[in-house]
Amino acid sequence: MSLEPETFKSLVRAAADQVIASAPELTALDQAIGDGDHGANMKRGFEAVLGKLEVIGAQPLDEALKTIGRTLVMTVGGASGPLYGSFFMAVGDALSKKRLPEDLAEVFGRGVGAVSARGRSQPGEKTMLDVLFPVLETLKSEAGHPNLIERVRVTATEAAARTAPMLATKGRASFLGRRSVGHVDPGARSSCVLLHAVCDSLEVG
């Protein structure tokens, strides 16, 4: 896994483009069980990230991830801003002391832990953590596997789909109670979109 500045920049661009392209789908999911703003919020946040791409590309990786996190916190305008923002800021922080690819699971785990702390949430509550935790488990159990990227992609897809039958107990969807059952969680879906974009980009690069 090489992460040269140009590779990282194209990775960020690809991830942002994918999130922006998925905004209508995220909005539709959020209209079913939330307040319908997840697509627009994520689009606004990742457009702001694209606007800072030159700055981000010129920074060391740990600082670049913190810049992405702070940008999302400041621009997303929903609960997902601090959640995704905390993820990237914690990952950046962890990276300043760790190395890739050998510490990938640990670094990713720091980000997942930050999301869990920020949202005071655990897996099984129909949130983005229901994608992030299974992916963390895959990164741990399949570390060094030649098909790790494909395993992560499959894990993310399956985990996002598994949020459909879950009952939401956190976030706006929890107000719906039983009516949240049957819909994929928008945050789980946006996490899946981001992870797929990163996987695709790493494979190409």
Partner 1 sequence: MSDLVGIVIVSHSKDIAKGTADMVRQMVGSKIKVAFCGGNPDGGLGTDVSGIIQAIDIAWSPKGVVILVDLGGAETNSEMAVEMLRPERRDLVVVCNAPIVEGAVMAATEAAGGSSLEQVRAAAEELSAG
Residues that bind partner 1 (CB under 8 A): 35, 37, 40-41, 44, 73-75, 77-79, 81-83, 85-86, 118-119, 170-172
CB of 70 to partner 1, least distance (A): 8
Judged by beta carbon, residue 10 or residue 75, the one nearer partner 1 is 75
Q: Radius of gyration of the chain from Cα atoms?
A: 16
Residues 176/168, Cβ–Cβ less than 8 Å: yes
CB of 78 to partner 1, least distance (A): 5
Residue 99 contacts by C-beta under 8 Å, 6 or more apart in sequence? none
Judged by beta carbon, residue 71 or residue 138, the one nearer partner 1 is 71
Judged by beta carbon, residue 17 or residue 35, the one nearer partner 1 is 35
CB of 20 to partner 1, least distance (A): 15
Judged by beta carbon, residue 9 or residue 70, the one nearer partner 1 is 70
Helices (H), the chain: 5-21, 23-33, 38-51, 53-58, 61-75, 80-95, 104-119, 129-141, 148-162, 186-204
Judged by beta carbon, residue 26 or residue 152, the one nearer partner 1 is 26
CB of 123 to partner 1, least distance (A): 18
Measured distance CA(117)–CA(183) in Å, rounded: 25
Of the chain, the end-to-end C-alpha distance in Å amounts to 9
Residue 57 contacts by C-beta under 8 Å, 6 or more apart in sequence? 5, 6, 8, 9, 12, 64
CB of 120 to partner 1, least distance (A): 9
